Amino acid sequence: MDSFRHLAAHLGLDLVAVCLLTFAVYYPRHRRRDLVPAYLALNVALFTVVAALAEMSGAGGTALGFGLFGVLSIIRLRSDSVQHEEVAYYFTTLVLGLLCGLPHLAFGLTAGLSAVLLLVIYVADHPRLLARTRRAVVTLDAVHSDPAALRADLARRLGEPLNWTVMEVDFVRDLTVVDVRYREPEQGAGARRAAPAEPARSTAPAWESV
Residues 101 and 178 in one domain: no
**What are the tens digits of pLDDT across the range 11-35?**
999 999 999 999 999 999 888 888 8
What pLDDT does 204 receive? 41
SS3 205: strand
> What gap in Å lies between CA 73 and CA 67, rounded to an integer?
10
- The domain total for the chain is 2
142, 192 Cβ separation under 8 angstroms: no
Q: Are residues 110 and 137 part of one domain?
A: no
Q: Are residues 75 and 141 in the same domain?
A: no
Give yes or no: residues 107 and 154 share one domain: no
With H, G, I as helix, E, B as strand and everything else as coil, classify residue 187. coil
Each residue of 159-201: pLDDT tens digit?
Answer: 888 888 888 898 888 899 998 888 877 765 444 444 444 444 4
pTM beyond 0.85: the answer is no
Please, where are the H alpha helices in 20-106? 27-30, 36-55, 61-73, 84-101
* Same domain for 176 and 120: no
List, for residues 78-120, the tens digit of each pLDDT value: 555 567 778 889 889 988 998 898 878 889 999 999 999 999 9
Print the domain residue range for 155: 133-209
Does residue 119 share a domain with residue 44?
yes
